[in-house]
Amino acid sequence: MQFPPELDPEKIPAHVAIIMDGNGRWAQQRGLPRPMGHKVGVESVQAVVRAARQLNLQVLTLYAFSTENWQRPPLEVKALMGLLKSFLLSELETMVANNVSLRCLGQKERFPAEVRETLDKVIAATAGNDGLILNLALNYGSRVEIIDAVRVVAGKCATGELVAQDISEEIFAAHLYTGGMPDPDLLIRTGGESRLSNFLLWQASYSEIYFVDTLWPDFREEGLVEAIRVYQGRQRRFGKTGDQVQQS
């Protein structure tokens, strides 16, 4: 991909996070079983990861499976597990070759052993890479993530490693699954719904949010470029006035 002329290379977001919604509807609109939507959705994942590398993003976070998604029909959950495993296996070489580092946000213990082992293998094989960080949010829920962090921080207070008064936003954020990474600058949700669905609630405090009707299987490289174009047209004020931001 040539660098898109409509984008400003100086204002590329460091971290883009995506709620990949609309696979089921995409399939249903075509009279296909829902898992077919997820299968084609994997092609969008591949296209968006490739584009993220080419645009020089630092971090791409994809919401692939929520803590609530276990409630879906067993066949759909099984299909998603299968797709995840085959995606990881088929992309391993490409990730290594392209300096991508795969991380998992979420409690992967609940995944079937073969999926967990594949995940661990890819995470280990790409751990030394210092290019794009690809976070897959898997068995992820933002409230559970915050509770996990509270438990660790409270444990450190109990042992005296931390003093409650010293807990700052930075210290707390370092205990989230995204510790050490920048917060998302841009959060995209495809599929026409306008909600966060328990995704990155702490980290998205100042993210620019972009809701788009496109169903995830139709959201490819062009979709990401358009989202970033809209993002670049917005003024991020972080609580300041527009005039103050312009002066700085």
Active-site positions?
A: 21, 69
CA dihedral 201, 102, 121, 178 (to 10 degrees): -30
State the nearest-atom distance from the C-beta of 188 to ligand FPP, in Å.
Answer: 13
Q: 168 Cβ partners below 8 Å, 6+ apart? A: none
Q: Is 239 left (phi over 0), alpha (psi -120 to 50) or beta?
A: left
- Tokens, residue 154: 């409270």
Please report whether residue 84 would count as binding ligand FPP according to CB under 6 A.
yes
State the nearest-atom distance from the C-beta of 98 to ligand FPP, in Å.
Answer: 16
Show contacts with ligand FPP in window 115-174 (CB under 6 A).
Answer: 136
Size of the site for ligand FPP (CB under 6 A): 20
Please report whether residue 20 would count as binding ligand FPP according to CB under 6 A.
yes
**SS3 (DSSP) at 22:** coil
Closer of 55 and 80 to ligand FPP (Cβ): 80
Beta strands in 106-163 (DSSP E): 133-140
Please report whether residue 87 would count as binding ligand FPP according to CB under 6 A.
yes
Give the whole-angstrom CA distance, residue 145 versus residue 215.
Answer: 27
Please report whether residue 184 would count as binding ligand FPP according to CB under 6 A.
no
Please report whether residue 22 would count as binding ligand FPP according to CB under 6 A.
yes
What is the contact surface with ligand FPP in residues (CB under 6 A)?
20-25, 38, 41-42, 45, 62, 64, 69, 80, 83-84, 87, 136, 191, 216
